[in-house]
Amino acid sequence: MKAVTRSGAGGPDVLSLGEAPDPVPGDGEVLIAVVAAGVNRADLLQRQGNYPPPKGASELLGLEVSGTIAGVGFGVDHWSVGDPCVALLAGGGYAELVAVPAGQVVAPPRGVDLVTAAGLIEVSATVVSNFDATSVRRGETVLVHGGAGGIGSFAIQYAHSIGARVIATAGSTDKVTYCLELGADAAMSYREDWVGEVSRLTENHGVDVILDVMGASYLEPNVASLAVGGRLIVIGLQGGRKGTLDLGRLMTIRGSVLSTTLRSRPVAEKSAICCRVTEVVWPLIGSGAIRPAPQTAFPLAEVAAAHRRLESGDNIGKVVLTV
Ligand SMILES: NC(=O)c1ccc[n+]([C@@H]2O[C@H](COP(=O)([O-])OP(=O)(O)OC[C@H]3O[C@@H](n4cnc5c(N)ncnc54)[C@H](OP(=O)(O)O)[C@@H]3O)[C@@H](O)[C@H]2O)c1
């Protein structure tokens, strides 16, 4: 099959369209003929050699695809060849074919074409599992960092659908405006005094939940911005991995700091998260309450350009590769 291969660790030009062996679905797996693959920030890290795939996963890049079922392994009885689907992967999505545990495969949301659907499952699974872990409730205030990104643009809409008040940060005026269009109650540039602005917006109470994609560089200001009983959940380390945690402040507010990653979770956990996504997110997309993020699509052969686009920070929404 055709697949994106990597000549080594480095910049986007290490990626090109090449050949790889056809995957064979094992017991409990399905084979998917890929229509489109989502490009995620984790893929950029893997390309650079900084995010190796978990044990047993494909060495090829790609954490999510849409497509049609092209084969079923032993013990899979609920999928048939030709069925449209989307899948959450541990790797292998930048290819014509990918094999994946059947539990991580779901039907696309109603009314969504397969190219658009390619960029939905990774953000949905990440946000839903992390909002579940922090028990985000109606009436609470949620701060979403990077609100115009793939994760952030989904998180704003999902938090809004739960009935939370949403504050978002973003890097440019256009992106701040986009966060407001998505339903954020307030949004501001992270290049300005966002801590002061959060304090002002919450009348010094702070926010109940923070979805953070920065890690170390935001640890202190995030903890300083939490309300009593507040929960900070760190899912990205764009600002580094080792920061300073003010335990005194955390104790005083009876706060918590959590961190999760989706990719390394066992198949059973990922399958449960996929079920939850179809229960809670797909109906919201079907009803129009959540709009899929705008997409910038590149053919698979232009994978280097797709990576450059995401890396530039200029993109709003998702980047996808069409196969
Ligand atoms: N743990 C997990 O399971 C998991 C799963 C998926 C993703 N992630 C992580 O989540 C992060 C976002 O992923 P993505 O797919 O949404 O990537 P993306 O679309 O490239 O978004 C990156 C976001 O980071 C924001 N950002 C950059 N510098 C910032 C700063 N100083 N303050 C606040 N925000 C800043 C960007 O804002 P602007 O564009 O406005 O500059 C952008 O919204 C990545 O770090 C990724 O690795 C983790």
67 and 116 fall within a common domain = yes
Q: What is the mean pLDDT of residues 6-31?
A: 97
Instruction: Give the model's confidence band at 39: pLDDT under 50 very low, under 70 low, under 90 confident, else very high.
Output: very high
Q: How confident is the model at residue 316 (pLDDT cuts 50, 70, 90)?
A: confident
Domain with 52 in it: what CATH number?
3.90.180.10
- Out of 41, 88, 311, mutate this one to test ligand 1's pocket (max ligand atoms within 8 Å of CB): namely 41
Domain boundary among 259, 292, 314: 259
Measure the CA–CA gap between 199 and 15, rounded to whole angstroms: 44
Residue 294: the pLDDT is 87
Does residue 125 fall inside a structural domain?
A: no
Q: Is residue 62 a contact partner of residue 44, using CB atoms and an 8 Å limit?
A: no
101 and 185 share one domain: no
User: 50 C-alpha to center of ligand 1: Å?
Assistant: 16
Residues 282 and 240 in one domain: no
* Residue 280 pLDDT exceeds 90: yes
Same domain, 147 and 247: yes
Tokens found for residue 27: 């017991």
Domain containing 239: what range? Answer: 130-259
The CATH number of the domain where 217 resides is what? 3.40.50.720
Hey, what are 28's tokens? Answer: 């409990």
Label residue 49 by pLDDT band (50, 70, 90).
very high
pLDDT band at 293 (very low <50, low <70, confident <90, very high): confident
Shared domain check, 158 and 100: no
C-alpha to C-alpha distance for 117 and 65, rounded to whole angstroms: 8
Strand partners, 142: 166, 209
pTM for the whole structure? 0.96
Q: Is the pLDDT of residue 201 over 90?
A: yes
Mark whether 26 and 62 lie in a shared domain. Answer: yes
Which pLDDT belongs to residue 160? 97
Q: What is the mean pLDDT of residues 284-293?
A: 94
160 and 224 housed in the same domain: yes
Residue 68 Cβ contacting ligand 1 at under 6 Å: no
Cα(238) to centroid of ligand 1, in Å? 7
Q: Is the predicted pLDDT of residue 315 greater than 90, yes or no? A: no
Output the CA angle 177-304-46, nearest 5 degrees: 85
pLDDT digits (tens, 9 = 90+) for 238-271: 999 999 999 999 999 999 999 999 998 999 999 9
